[in-house]
Amino acid sequence: MSNESVLEEHHLEFREMAREFATKRLDGVGTKIDLADGRIPDEIMAEMGRLGFFGLTLPEAYGGLGQDLTSMCVVTEELAAAGLTFGSVIHRNSVCGELLARSGTEEQKQRFLPGLASGELQSSSSGTEPEAGSDAANIKTRAVRDGDHYVLNGSKQWTTNADRAGVLFTYVRTSDESKHHGISLLMVEKEPGEQFVPPTLTGTHLPTAGYHGMHSYSLYFSDHRVPVANLVGGVEGQGFRQLMKGYESARITFAFRCIGLARAAYESAKRHTAEREQFGQSLDRFQAVRFRLADMATQIEAARALGLMAARGFDSGRRVDLEAGMAKLFAAEMAHKVAWDALYLHGGAGYAIEADVNRHWRDSGLLPIGEGTSDIQREVIARRLLDAAR
C-alpha cells in the first residue's frame, strides 16, 4: 500500500496487528458466515476484544486504548478486507462509546464504558424508523416520563447488532416543541440474545442480501420502561445534537470499510485473471482486462488518500464534515463499482453465490446507502462548498 507518509509508527503497528489477525483468524470465516446468514463467532468477538479493537478510540480512563481516528481507520480497512462485517462490528461500540464519553454523565461513563471498551458489553445504535431515515430528525418513537422511568412506545428499523447488544442507544422523542430539539437519547438495557424483553420490547430479524455476520432488526416498544438515569447526559432534548457530533468520525471510518471491501474484491480479480487462460493466454494479458484492473487499483488508492486526509484532519481537531462527506461518498461509490468490476472479471464463476467475489458484490450494495446515502453526502458537500459562499 502507498499513502505511508501520513502514517506514524503507531498506525503502522496497529495496521500490522490487524492484518496478522485477519490473515490467521479470519481467512475463510467470512464465506462460512455469509452462506449460512450466520453471526460472527463468539470466539472471534472475544479475540477482537482482547486485541483492543472495540475500545481503540475510547478513553484510557475507562478501559480504552485512547488512540486516534487514523488508527481506527487502518484497523478497519484490514478487518473489512477479510469481511465487511469484521470491519463494521467494532464500530458499534466505538461510535456509541465515543458518544457516551463525549456527552454522558460521569456515572454513565463509569457504568458502561469499561464494558464497551473490552467488548464484553455489545451495543447498537437505534435511530432509523419507517419515517426517519435520511430525515434523521423525523423520529416518532415516544418516551414519556413517569416518575423515575421513561415509558417508550413506537418502532425502529435496521437496528444492527441488536440481538448481541446488551445496550441499545435509542433515539426517542421527548417533546413536540421542536423537531430537532425534541429528541433525546436513552440507553435501553437488555440481555444479549434475540429474546429482547417481551412483551414490552420485541424484535424481528430482517434478512438481507449481504452484509452477513451481524443481524439487523425491527424493534417494537410497547410501554417499555427505561430508567431516567439512562438518559444520556441527563438532559432532555440533546439527542439530535449528540447524533450529529458523531457523523464526521462515523463517515470517515465507514469509508475505510468500503476501501477494505474494494481491496479484497480487486485482489480476488487480480488472482483470477492471472490464473484463468483463454485463447492461449491468461486473462490479465488482454488490454481490456489490464485497463480495468488499473482503474480499480487507482480508485482504491484515491479513496484511501482522501480518507486519510479526512482522518488526519479530524485528529488535528479541525472541522471535517466536508472531507468526511467526500471520503464516504467517493469510497462507497468506488467500492460498489470495483466489486461489480471484480465480479465481471470472474465471468460466470463470479455469479456463483459461494464465490468470495460474489459476497463482496452483494455486500457492496449497502455502501452507497448506509451511514448517509450518497445523495445525502452530496448535499453535505454542496452546502459547505456553495451555500457558505453566499
Active site residue 371: yes
Secondary structure of 91-152 in the HEC alphabet?
HHHHHHHHHHHHHCCHHHHHHHHHHHHHCCCCEEEECCECCECCCCCCCCCEEEEECCEEEE
C-beta separation of 127 from 139 below 8 A: yes
Three-state DSSP state, 308? helix
- The three-point CA angle 184-171-54 to 5° equals 110
| Residue tagged 459562499 (cell numbers) | 389
Distance, CA of 81 to CA of 85 (rounded, Å): 10
Residues 31, 180: Cα–Cα separation, whole Å: 42
Q: Which of 77, 78, 98, 371 is catalytic?
A: 371
* Distance, CA of 68 to CA of 137 (rounded, Å): 29
Listed in sequence order, the residues at least 6 apart from 55 whose beta carbon sits closer than 8 Å to its beta carbon are 63, 64, 65, 93, 94, 97, 116, 117, 118, 119
Q: At what angle do helices 84-103 and 106-118 cross, to 10 degrees?
A: 160
Type and span of the H or E element at 248 = helix 247-275
Q: How far apart are CA 14 and CA 8, in angstroms?
A: 10
Pick the closest to residue 138 from 189, 176, 97 (CA basis).
176
Strand partners for 168 = 124, 188
Q: Which of 40, 21, 37, 18 is nearest to 29 (CA)?
A: 40
Residue with cell 465471468: 347
The catalytic site residues sit at 371
